[in-house]
Amino acid sequence: MTTVVVRHDLPIHETLEGTRDGLTVRTARDTEETKARLVDADALVINPASWDDALLDALDEGDWVQATSTGYAAFPVEAFRERGITFTNATGNYGSPVADHVFALALGLARGLPTFLDEQRERNWDRTKGGELIDLDGRTLTVVGMGDIGESVARRGLGFGMDVYGTKRTPDEYDGVLPADRVLEPSALDRAIGETEVLALTVPLTEETRHLVDRSTFETLPDTAFLINVARGPVVDQEALIEALETGRIAGAGLDVFDPEPLPESSPLWDLDNAIITPHVGGRSRDFVDRFVDLFLHNFDRRRDGDGELRNRIA
């Protein structure tokens, strides 16, 4: 018998219910309730925004925490390791929606959607609006962070006929759609982007990636470039970005993540003609719950049968 506590707003518990003999699913709405229900439970499904270190003492050795996110900076991974708590994340579940979001933002900028949607609200047909439109064919796309999401971005870029490069902390380990010599170390970034017209950020936030994109990046990019950030806000020096957009140092930005979030009402980013802003929804997908439940059950079965590696095991 396994009891899992699910702390998530989406209907994960309804979808999990009844999928396996011997699996009991319980929900929890806040930290107190989660803590109370964990006493009799063996597993926890939780998103990073709901994690509270107060939950740590309610977990026993051998328990299992399955995060609903790819990023896990909010979780005490070292403490999990020390206490013998298994921890898995949801890498692989976000490649499609986030990569689609990258191209929604890039094509929104390239094809003038903010202008045309404003005109639509005014019921105004004006073919002189929208400025110069751009097609992606033959332009250079550089994907910073060739993990699961970056790979999905690269695959789409090739479909658009783009010239695609990527960066990866361990380029020697890369095995994907790009030729090996197109995948560079992160330190090569500023040297590599002189021709980059779409710079897409898909790295986790770490001490190395904080402010990875800064004033010098904007000085190196061509003034026709778009920055697309679906990673984490602090990967970009936001002040430098605002200046680059205000001065036309780059052509535009498609931003799903900010520093801080929520983006304050006072931020100048909201008003920039050459920025599209979405409220950290890149990972949202009609398919999320189904994909997540597939992942959970895969790991549940491995644990129950005691055979095979858990998928996405971090601790």
Active site residue 232: yes
Q: Which of 53, 208, 287, 301 binds a second copy (CB under 8 A)?
A: 287
Distance CA 154, CA 201 (A): 12
One residue of 277, 294, 311, 314 binding a second copy per CB under 8 A: 277
284 in catalytic set: no
Taking CB under 8 A as the criterion, the residue among 21, 61, 125, 207 binding a second copy is 125
Told to judge if 280 belongs to the known catalytic residues of this protein, a careful annotator would answer yes
Token code pair at residue 190: 């500023």
Determine the interface stretch with a second copy among 28-36, 199-207, 235-243, 260-268 (rule: CB under 8 A): 260-268
Q: What's 136's DSSP letter?
A: -
Nearer to a second copy, 108 or 252 (CB): 108
Asked if 245 interacts with a second copy (CB under 8 A), we say no
Neighbouring-strand partners of residue 275: 253
118-156 burial by CB neighbour count: b if 16+ within 10 A, else e?
Answer: eeeeeeeeeeeeeeeebebeebbbbbbbbbbbbbbbbeb
Residue 71 Cα to chain centre, angstroms = 8
Catalytic residue among 280, 284, 291, 311: 280
| Count of Cβ atoms closer than 10 Å to residue 181 Cβ | 8
CB of 275 to a second copy, least distance (A): 8
Residues that contact a second copy, how many (by CB under 8 A): 57
Helix, strand or coil for residue 293? Answer: helix
| Residue 311 contacts a second copy per CB under 8 A | no
Contact between 110 and a second copy (CB under 8 A)?
Answer: yes
In whole angstroms, give the CA distance from residue 16 to residue 242.
44
**Of the candidate residues 64, 75, 80, 103, the single one contacting a second copy (CB under 8 A):** 103
Polymer length in residues for the chain: 315
Residue 250's SS3 state is coil
Which range, of 57-65, 113-121, 179-187, 241-249, touches a second copy by CB under 8 A? 113-121
Residues acting as catalytic residues: 232, 261, 280
The contact set with a second copy (CB under 8 A) reads: 96-97, 100-101, 103-104, 107-108, 110-114, 116-121, 123-127, 129-130, 132-138, 155-161, 261-263, 265, 267, 270-271, 276-281, 284-287
